[in-house]
Structure 1
Amino acid sequence: MVFISLGCALLAGFLLANQNPINSDLSRIVRSPFLAASISFLVGTVFLGLLSWGMSGNLWPTREFISNQPMWIWLGGLLGGIYLTSNVVLFPKLGAMQTVILPILGQILMGTIIDTFGWFQAAIIPLTMLRLVGLVVLILGVVCAVVLPSKLKKDELMLNNLEKETGKLFWQIWAIIAGAISATQQAINGHLGTLLHNSEQAAFISFFTGFILIAIFSLILERRLPKLSELKTTKLWNWFGGILGGSFVLATVLTVPKIGAGLTITMGLIGSITGSMLVQQFGWWRSAKSSVSLIQIIGVIIMAVGVAIIKFL
């Protein structure tokens, strides 16, 4: 069962890595990342709604259930919307490299804190010396897979420019916070699924509230809807982003109660980085194509070793 949960979390990250270029291409078509995110959330909401209705015949929990639960249990979708919007805002502020790395740091740290102290009703997993070693190895793997390739290519956005860009300190701090928000969302959604005894329903509720948030934000900012002429130029796969995002949320709802928030987040990161490497290697979804380096492959292997230390030693 543990290996199934680990595989499910890994697949979730892989799906999310494919969602990003799909939504990016949709953003180019509708000329707005916010409109593209709204469309993606709408498709995901419909997908999860149909799945929940087909599996259990229910979309919404009972009034009694709602009145007996703390308010924070409903924040998963709100946090998901904040995280997605943050990524859209951070990209032009920090560039691709920092937008990837800093949220990962926030996710790993918050996932560890949630497991260590049992926040959001998560099972307590003590932070032993061996787990700490595993986390260090894991972060080393992230550095190899994400940081070093750009550093070796002398990318203008590499991390040693952080200290030269003090004006970006606020956005760098917010990127770490955004990663922590993502980890919190996964923990909350996992507990909601446990309470409802219905993972599909929990994922639908989370995605629906996220859609409401991003749609309102998009309408305020853009003051328009996508044009029909724009939507007619889309490919069929341009609409798959929401399904992949919904599948990611559903997978995390299923796995957090079984293997903990920290390990779910970690496996998702490995899947996401691996998926991004494949997208990069083969240029999937009309994305820019470039070869994966040996150091990236080594980084993913090191991350897998870190997971093995945390979970199995």
Structure 2
Amino acid sequence: MAILLGILMGFGVAIQTVINTRLRIYVGSPLLASTVSFTVGSVLLALALFILGEPIFPEFHRVVASPWWFWIGGLLGAFWISANILVFQQLGAVQTAIFPIFGQVVMGVMIDHFGWFNVLTKPVTKVQLLGVVLVLTGIVIAVAWQSIQQLLFKRERISHMDEPPAMGAWKWRLFALIGGAMIASQSAINTQLSHLLDSSVQASFISFFVGMVALLLILLIKERQVSGLKLAMGKPWWIWIGGVLGAGFVVMSVILVPWIGVGQMLVLILLGLLLGSFCVDSWGWFGVTRKPIRAFQWVGMIILVSGVFLIRLT
């Protein structure tokens, strides 16, 4: 059951990304799409707190007595959700999955090694460094192997690759790497907030709520309207459930962490994320342009997963 739940969490992240991207197409604004997603997630988590009989907002004395960075996890999450929508449109499902993984892995190792965000210091081992190298190798094979072959053997570019221009593509990949690093930081920050509040669900709600408020303020200042919501009325019902999947991810993580630990949960999430991304790209789910997965990409994914196993399970 734990294995199934972990894989479903990762699968849900992949589906949430494509759903939010489709919502962005209908409403015409990545900011508005992200705001909708965070609002739906906030409402669901507030409802969960009400059902559990827990307070929605923390006591004031806990807020003023804690470091300021305890409360910015939602800002990092809001940035990543918005960035993910843009990256998906430029790179597709698979690359939107694997580049944040590398950013998350590297930042996670650094957080553990230096003890950032008040986490217990865990010096990086040689095995973990090997894992980082394998993750990077897997990404290079999965993403750039075709280009390397063309460079070495001077093969003609394959027209159906449907890739963005080289420099433009790497700009978006770097953007995705930064987003992955932010997600790793958000996880560490929300863990500290959970300890402060003695409630994982309340900490998750605060994270969603802060992200929602930040996105709403930026939306009103930058775009000054939410009329794009009218354009999405009458469209497929599933474009509104991105926030539901996000809230479900939080709830299941609360269940799984005490059960199997963070390291094993992240590995299972990775497997589900890659599986979901493959399904979206290969079969063109939710109106996505089909991009069949090639043999060298499978090889790269296997090497990448092996590297994550070495990092997280050692």
- Sort the TM-score into its range (normalised by shorter chain): 0.7 to 0.9
Specify the alignment match of 1:301 in structure 2.
Answer: 302
Using the TM superposition, give the Cα deviation of residue 82 of structure 1 relative to its aligned residue in structure 2, in angstroms. 2.1
Residue pair 1:145, 1:300 contacting (<8 A) in 2 also: yes
Residue pair 1:190, 1:252 contacting (<8 A) in 2 also: no
Aligned partner of 1:190: which letter? T
Deviates more, 1:226-235 or 1:212-221: 226-235
CA distance in 1, matches of 2:146, 2:10: 21
Specify the alignment match of 1:73 in structure 2.
Answer: 70
CA distance in 2, matches of 1:271, 1:158: 26
Specify the alignment match of 2:233 in structure 1.
Answer: 232
Aligned partner of 1:28: which letter? I
Using the TM superposition, give the Cα deviation of residue 38 of structure 1 relative to its aligned residue in structure 2, in angstroms. 1.3
Q: Is 1:286 the equivalent of 2:283? A: no
Specify the alignment match of 1:210 in structure 2.
Answer: 211
1:164-243 aligned within 5 A:
175-226=176-227, 229-243=230-244
CA distance in 1, matches of 2:23, 2:148: 30
Specify the alignment match of 1:275 in structure 2.
Answer: 276
CA distance in 2, matches of 1:99, 1:71: 31
Using the TM superposition, give the Cα deviation of residue 265 of structure 1 relative to its aligned residue in structure 2, in angstroms. 5.6
Residue pair 1:76, 1:186 contacting (<8 A) in 2 also: yes
Residue pair 1:13, 1:271 contacting (<8 A) in 2 also: yes
Using the TM superposition, give the Cα deviation of residue 305 of structure 1 relative to its aligned residue in structure 2, in angstroms. 2.3
- Give the count of matched residue pairs: 303
Deviates more, 1:116-125 or 1:262-271: 262-271
Specify the alignment match of 1:23 in structure 2.
Answer: 20
SS at match of 1:223: coil
Using the TM superposition, give the Cα deviation of residue 42 of structure 1 relative to its aligned residue in structure 2, in angstroms. 0.9
Aligned partner of 1:226: which letter? S
CA distance in 2, matches of 1:127, 1:91: 32
**CA 1:308–1:30: 2 relative to 1, 3 Å:** closer
How well do the aligned residues superpose, as a CA RMSD in angstroms?
A: 3.4
Using the TM superposition, give the Cα deviation of residue 246 of structure 1 relative to its aligned residue in structure 2, in angstroms. 2.4
CA distance in 1, matches of 2:44, 2:130: 40
Specify the alignment match of 2:103 in structure 1.
Answer: 106
CA distance in 2, matches of 1:233, 1:46: 22
CA distance in 2, matches of 1:75, 1:279: 31
SS at match of 2:45: helix
CA distance in 1, matches of 2:312, 2:101: 19
Gaps of 5+ in 1: none
**CA 1:188–1:218: 2 relative to 1, 3 Å:** same
Aligned partner of 1:199: which letter? S
Deviates more, 1:133-142 or 1:201-210: 133-142
Aligned partner of 1:71: which letter? W
Gaps of 5+ in 2: 150-157
CA distance in 1, matches of 2:310, 2:230: 53
Residue pair 1:77, 1:208 contacting (<8 A) in 2 also: yes
Using the TM superposition, give the Cα deviation of residue 210 of structure 1 relative to its aligned residue in structure 2, in angstroms. 0.5
**CA 1:91–1:19: 2 relative to 1, 3 Å:** closer
Residue pair 2:97, 2:273 contacting (<8 A) in 1 also: no
1:22-171 aligned within 5 A:
22-88=19-85, 103-148=100-145, 155=161, 157=163, 161-162=166-167
Using the TM superposition, give the Cα deviation of residue 243 of structure 1 relative to its aligned residue in structure 2, in angstroms. 1.0
CA distance in 2, matches of 1:150, 1:279: 23
